[in-house]
Structure 1
Amino acid sequence: MKEVFFTFLKLGLVSFGGPTAHLAYFYQEFVIRKKWISEEVYKELLAVCQFLPGPASSQLGICIGNLRSGWKSGFAAWIGFTLPSILLMVGFGILLKSNIVPDLKWIHGLKLVAAAVVAHAILTMWKNSKNHPYKIYMIIGSALITLAFSGAFTQLIVILIGAAIGYFLFKEEADLPYVSVSFAIPSRIAFWSLGSFFLLLFLLPLLRSFSGFLPVAISDSFYRSGALVFGGGHVVLPLLENEVVRQGWIGKEEFLAGYGAAQAMPGPLFTFASYLGYMISGLSGAIFATAFVFLPSFLLVFGFFPLWEKIRNYPKMRTVIDAIQFSALGILLSAFCTPVFTSSVYSAYDLFVFCSLFFLMVFLKVPNWLILIIGLSAPFLKPF
């Protein structure tokens, strides 16, 4: 277990570049260098992790640790890969709250970085998503519904509508990934994990409404955000924005500043939740937010993989997931419109900086850490 922890800790310290880069790091470390798993097993695990809601790179790390030496090593893998980013994001929150840097121009620079990153994520997800006759209609429709209605359950309703469209209107497919890996987890544990996943999804909102206790509210908001992320880590942005900004826990400026900073951190993007939790309720808030935003990933990995041999026999599963990913992309598009773009671009110079950052990311493939430096510097270089 120590070997697993320190191997993932090393990756957690150097894995810059977001989820796609993380998967490449994992491949090089565990398939090519250490040979813990074969290339076939890696591809099979990755296919199913991308099929599930939640952060694919974190779920894949849990799977690899579990296959190496049991469920405790799966947890150790997650701790090692995630801890550096958690500490850095909480440290950024401490810095922001202490007002050590009085000039807030750098925060506006972070907001411009966040806008460029989200625009790039939308473009990437559009290219990577499957071509389908309903694709453009579902994305635009989901975006318009989310923009028009700002209720607490709007995004969940949009996802459910997408799932229904996929089930009833999309053509069945039989090319689901085949996973021939044994997790040695009893069926009763798998059913318990999946049952807990859905139970918490409905139980936490009830506890929140009756208790009014802030830790319960934080747990509910971040658990739902972690459980409903389809289509990539960036989709967590609108879910978290709906939970923490629209409820008045933190302001738009603080939210986007943290999201911009998260792009330059190693490790999973989901540790943005650690920063948000700290800004809401100090260290206890950071602990609750981090634990509950990642909890769905553990429940799904330990619940879904042992049952996959049976679940994969239903071709409709893929059509439902494809449709949900279109809806999720529409939700992310609405978040880009507001609050990301409207809270970041105030002038022609801001628009120029945003377009420049976007150009550097898309066409010149400039790394995120350099994008962050350029974005932070831009407000101080404003000529007028």
Structure 2
Amino acid sequence: MSGSMNLNTHEHMLRDKVILALNSSLSFPQVLEAARAPLLELAPSDSVALCLMRTTPVLDFQWLVPGHPIPLLEQYASVSDHDFVRAPIFARPNEVILDEEMLPRREYEHSLLYQRSRELGLGLEHVMAVLLPIRPDFLGALALYRTRRRAFSSRCATVLSSLTQHLVNAVRNCADLQTMTTGSHLLEELHGRPGTAYVVVELPSREVLRSKHAAVLLERWFAPSDLHASGLPLPLKERLDALVRMDADSRLEKNVWFSQQPEGYRTVRFIELPAGEGPRQWALVMNELPMSIPLPVDMRRKLTRREADIAKYLLRSWSSEQIASELVIAVDTVDTHVRNIREKLGIDSRMDLLYLAARFNKPV
């Protein structure tokens, strides 16, 4: 959902502050602390928490709570089997769920989590939460809490929904690049990998850093006549210039450049680095993907058999019409399956499916 919903001037200002905070750092704690105050005012709440979950080899949780601690979450391991929030949000990823949709109020008040929260002196009277699928093996869940008996409204859920893709993007960037430093240096470990390809650009067009493999890829991908005076290829320079001019909502769908070639796919993901002193910097992370990418096991497990079949064809870059003809089903049916695949895997586009499947088969 974009920022076009019916917000008043103050709400627009708060939403912009939250989005700015989500892009202010590649550190989970710093991002949460920066976003906490405007988020709690935008969707009136008393506290916020982010749960990071890894699904392999076993389900593992890490809670991050900015501001005052939430005692219940510090003891979460002992009550996790009784968490009534988990099943509803897992069933409806990327959708904000209110506690009244999770279970009836009578059951809510008799739940172990609610009772334990009261025993610990901070009764969590209401909660709304959203599951943020990042990768097949990595998820986030954001929860907002109220300690008074005043239920979250549907408007609160709509406001939080308008931020969901920004939250996904922020968690993904922090997870993927938390070992990056700001400024002109990338993580030593990342820098040392021979297959890692990235360029760091300081706006408006000064190149700060280029890995060895990036130099190899760019020379292979582009002719000298394709280069801008800055040294960046024109298609990448034009995409970066366009992203800088876009609002935060529009950037979400345009931050990956994609080119299909006979031998495979070429992708560049544009990541705005945290603000520091001086001009803003962007990292351009490059990958080459084979034409036929296997569907990773952990992705397949989240899909029905038919969805997995369609996902395999999507990874071959088949159109909906080609898939429908091959499987002898209607194009609308294929499109419905594609929407379900995107929702279950937490991806925004077919390009994201290619990118994540390749990455999961061979992590960068």
Fold shared, TM-score > 0.5 on shorter chain: no
TM-score by length of 1: 0.23
Larger radius of gyration: 2
Higher RCO by CA contacts (8 Å cutoff, separation 6 or greater):
1
Q: Which has the higher strand share?
A: 2
Scaled by the length of structure 2, the TM-score of the pair is 0.23
